[in-house]
Structure 1
């Protein structure tokens, strides 16, 4: 029984149409239809009820679709286990937004030539979400802000970059002007609940600065846009593409206490250790 045929069955059920399943798999609708008919012939029953404008799973298919999902999942896991010590197969990683735009594209380009058989499945999210997914074994590795607490003993953290604290303002400023603007102007706060936001809040607390907060955002690119539109000033880490988006960004301090460390987190002794090691190396180049 061809796993690709089973994948197409699942995809048609999930997408609700052959066209949707074909688009998801990047193949033709004719190819998806052929796979379905092959499965119906092999199993000797009708798997979908068709009319002129729709296709719906039959009761028989709905009854066994959970088992089909398990078969496909186990097949993929078997492939990954067989290729565990190689640079082939799927590697599930998570990445925060600034890593997706600043670190991941160049890494993917390098991996396409150095490990063409390695397929990265990327999950976006904030650091806390990705950390939880990593702990729950839903990810093989995650690019996130260094956790502000003691992590599980099984986890390892590879520091990819350390980002100094910057002031974003509509125009270039000096150090003294920066502190004055923080004390008096409208302040767009990098959400204090986020792991990176905790660092900016620490800086303000240590200098006894209490800006007038107009909004909280855990979206650095959006903060940069609001500042460029004259909506206020903000304290942010110097993420990879910051200076391209905000050329007036002013580094306030390089003190490690106020830097946002970006790490690649993974479990010690992971079965995809070779792939994770290669990923770490290309992310740091």
Structure 2
């Protein structure tokens, strides 16, 4: 069975379109259709069915999807273990959104200089989802928060940055008392399902502040934009992102002590792509601020 055909099949399923899969593969739709038909002949079952303007996997196609993903991953791992990808290969990296807008582009810029032939796939998500994906071998490494529990001995971790909580307010309010602002201004709350949002909620409770809540959302950059537009103030981790420089906002230190948000790189010590992971870690080491 041609693994390239399985890859084409997965692209069709993920995109829902033969044409889109062909575009990503730099092939004609007819060539992709021919590959799918070859798979169907070999497996003796139809794998795709038309659903309006899109294509959807049949029952057999659904059964093939996860097995095909696992098989392609195993093939890639085998190549990595045997060293046939010394000059190239692929790396699957998970990331929290704030790292995407902050340190990660600089880390990747350093990484590709020393690994120009490596294909890097990025997947964003929460720390909990990324941890589970690394644990199950679905990701090679993750740039995420330190989990709220002790890491298993099979994991390794390199801290990258610690971010204390700050009050984000319009720059014209920079000299005002932060607790007074929190009591009198609408609050743009950082999502309490996330680590930083939970920390912010604990701070407000410790300070005895009952805020006037206006919004609750998970994007720190969107929160900064709302603060810039005068929609309220927010308690958030002190992230480093050049995108924040475009907003007219002030980061005001908070009076009470709080646990900083810690994030870094997480990976499995026995990963078959350990060489590439270590290169990624080395690329990040020069950017650490902890």
Fold shared per TM-score above 0.5? yes
Structure 1: unaligned runs, 5 residues or longer: none
How many residues align structurally? 283
CA distance, structure 1, for counterparts of residue 124 and residue 234 of structure 2: 24
User: Which residue number corresponds to residue 268 of structure 1?
Assistant: 269
CA RMSD of aligned residues (A): 3.8
User: Which residue number corresponds to residue 22 of structure 2?
Assistant: 22
Q: Which of the pair has more CA radius of gyration? A: 1
CA distance, structure 2, for counterparts of residue 259 and residue 88 of structure 1: 37
Report how far residue 144 of structure 1 moved: 1.1
Report how far residue 234 of structure 1 moved: 0.4
Q: How does 1:30-49 map to 2 (within 5 A)?
A: 31-33=31-33, 35=35, 39=38
Q: Is residue 102–residue 239 contact of structure 1 (8 Å, CA) maintained in 2? A: yes
Judge which range, 137-146 or 2-11, deviates more.
Answer: 2-11
Q: How does 1:85-104 map to 2 (within 5 A)?
A: 86=86, 88-104=88-104
User: Which residue number corresponds to residue 252 of structure 1?
Assistant: 253
- Aligned-partner SS, 2:177: helix
Q: How does 1:47-126 map to 2 (within 5 A)?
A: 65=64, 69=68, 71-83=71-83, 86=86, 88-126=88-126
Distance 1:130 1:67, change over 3 A: closer
- Aligned-partner SS, 1:147: coil
Judge which range, 269-278 or 249-258, deviates more.
Answer: 249-258
Distance 1:34 1:256, change over 3 A: farther
CA distance, structure 1, for counterparts of residue 57 and residue 209 of structure 2: 64
Q: Is residue 157–residue 264 contact of structure 2 (8 Å, CA) maintained in 1? A: yes
Q: Give per-residue Cα distances to partners, 1:134-179, cap 9 Å, x unaligned.
A: 2333222111122233232322221111223222112333465222
Q: Is residue 48–residue 56 contact of structure 1 (8 Å, CA) maintained in 2? A: no
Report how far residue 245 of structure 1 moved: 3.9
Structure 2: unaligned runs, 5 residues or longer: none
Q: Is residue 243–residue 249 contact of structure 1 (8 Å, CA) maintained in 2? A: no
CA distance, structure 1, for counterparts of residue 197 and residue 140 of structure 2: 26
Superposition TM-score, scaled by structure 2 size: 0.78
User: Which residue number corresponds to residue 280 of structure 1?
Assistant: 281
CA distance, structure 1, for counterparts of residue 182 and residue 53 of structure 2: 59
Q: Is residue 90–residue 121 contact of structure 2 (8 Å, CA) maintained in 1? A: yes
Superposition TM-score, scaled by structure 1 size: 0.80
User: Which residue number corresponds to residue 199 of structure 2?
Assistant: 199
- Aligned-partner SS, 2:101: helix
User: Which residue number corresponds to residue 143 of structure 1?
Assistant: 143
CA distance, structure 2, for counterparts of residue 22 and residue 225 of structure 1: 38
